[in-house]
């Protein structure tokens, strides 16, 4: 269940309450006259099955400018009425995508922030150290720490709705983030080479445990396709544990770390392999992520979308 808090102008309260009454899967409706002060108006509260929220938002979209809509996750609801509302709504709650929620999430996750740059730079440095030490464990750690999937999901969502500003912004976030992370890791690797800590032998063919990072092939692309689809599903369904599996599956951050070390040591064939791996992973995830969102929007049972298809 999701909890909705609506602030509505007093002149349109009955209209909003009627919408809530008529929407399938909505229950526990409360109207508090004159309770809202900023913006001024009436306060409406209700609980809704996740599958029903898209319909409610679509019919009350005017509240964005005339009032407000806030949505919260209900962790526990002990109510026969709530159980009945979930049963009435078609489909399963985990299959329903609240599109406004997803849009806000990907927009937030695709912004360039200091935290985003710091996490990506640290993850890329861990990947660079993993390459030098031939350590698969560090590679996995770098994969999990990388925050880049938010921007990839934003690209997928932008392509789905032809929101080109979102696509361009997410691409800029990826470009700036990886450029900064690679630059920091390159500087560290270059200083390490001057100190004699690493040399070309650090990237020798003996590093079989991590050499897969710079050898992209059909399997790399297939893994990226699978990971992109799984990643979008995990974000839309709120399954964070599944998203961790996605991070571990694809080698975007390890490829960036390998690229930085190879640049510092002047190993150009490895540089080319790293760039190819990075591009293959991002392209595969964007393709499958967009396709997954398209299937979710067009074919999965969701209240408020059937009539528009």
Mean pLDDT of 164-189: 95
- What is the pLDDT, as a whole number, of residue 54? 87
Residues 221-238: what's their mean pLDDT? Answer: 87
pLDDT tens across 36-58, in order?
Answer: 998 899 999 999 988 888 889 99
Opening angle at CA 229, ends 225 and 230, nearest 5: 115
Q: Which residue has the tokens 């109207």?
A: 31
User: Whole-angstrom Cα distance, residue 70 to residue 63?
Assistant: 10
Q: What is the mean pLDDT of residues 108-120?
A: 92
User: What topology is assigned to 2-95 in CATH?
Assistant: Alpha-Beta Plaits (3.30.70)
Point out which residues pair with 71 in neighbouring strands. Answer: 4
**φ and ψ of 134, to 5 deg:** 55, 50
pLDDT tens profile 60-108 = 999 989 999 999 988 888 888 888 888 877 766 667 788 888 888 888 8
Q: Residue 192 above 60 pLDDT?
A: yes
Higher per-residue pLDDT: 155 or 86: 155
Residue 8 DSSP SS3: strand
From first CA to last CA, the distance across the chain in angstroms is 25
Q: Over 50: is that where the pLDDT of 227 sits? A: yes
* pLDDT digit string, tens, across residues 6-22: 999 999 999 999 999 98
Mean pLDDT estimate for the chain: 87
Token pair 């599109």 in the structure block, residue: 99
Tell me which of 212 and 278 has the higher pLDDT: 278
DSSP letters, 104-150, are: HHHHHHTS--HHHHHHHHHHHHHHHHHHHHT-HHHHHHHHHH--THH
Name the pLDDT band for 307 (thresholds 50, 70, 90). Answer: very low
Q: According to DSSP H, which parts of the chain are helical?
A: 13-22, 53-59, 63-66, 80-88, 99-109, 114-133, 136-145, 149-160, 164-194, 218-237, 240-249, 252-265, 268-298
Q: Is pLDDT of 205 > 70?
A: no
Domain coordinates in residue numbering, the chain: 2-95, 101-298
Give the predicted TM-score (pTM) of the model: 0.82
Mean pLDDT computed over 209-216: 78
Q: Which of 36-45, 121-130, 240-249, 293-302 has the lowest mean pLDDT?
A: 240-249
Q: What angle do CA 285, 290, 296 make, to 5 degrees?
A: 125
């Amino acid at each position: 269940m999701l909890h909705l808090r609506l602030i509505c102008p007093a002149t349109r309260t009955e209209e909003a309450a009627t919408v809530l009454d008529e929407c399938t899967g909505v229950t526990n409706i409360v109207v508090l006259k004159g309770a809202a002060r900023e913006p001024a108006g009436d306060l409406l509260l209700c609980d809704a099955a996740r599958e029903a929220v898209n319909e409610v938002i679509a019919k009350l979209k005017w509240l964005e400018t005339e009032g407000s809509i806030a949505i919260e996750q209900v962790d526990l609801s002990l109510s026969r009425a709530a159980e009945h509302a979930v049963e009435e709504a078609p489909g399963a709650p985990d299959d329903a995508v609240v599109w406004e929620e997803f849009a806000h999430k990907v927009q937030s996750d695709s912004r360039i922030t200091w935290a985003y740059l710091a996490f990506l730079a640290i993850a890329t440095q861990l990947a660079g150290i993993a390459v030098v030490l031939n350590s698969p464990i560090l590679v996995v750690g770098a994969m999990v720490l990388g925050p880049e999937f938010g921007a990839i999901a934003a690209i997928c969502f932008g392509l789905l709705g032809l929101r080109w500003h979102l696509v361009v912004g997410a691409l800029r976030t990826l470009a700036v983030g990886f450029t900064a992370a690679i630059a920091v890791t390159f500087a560290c690797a270059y200083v390490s080479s001057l100190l004699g800590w690493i040399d070309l032998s650090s990237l020798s063919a003996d590093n079989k445990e991590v050499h897969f990072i710079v050898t992209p092939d059909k399997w790399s692309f297939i893994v990226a396709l699978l990971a992109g689809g799984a990643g979008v599903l995990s974000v839309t369904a709120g399954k964070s544990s599944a998203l961790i599996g996605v991070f571990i599956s694809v080698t975007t951050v390890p490829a960036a770390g390998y690229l930085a070390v190879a640049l510092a040591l002047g190993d150009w064939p490895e540089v080319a392999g790293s760039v190819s791996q990075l591009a293959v992973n991002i392209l595969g995830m964007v393709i499958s992520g967009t396709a997954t969102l398209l299937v979710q929007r067009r074919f999965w049972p969701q209240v408020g979308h059937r009539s528009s298809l």
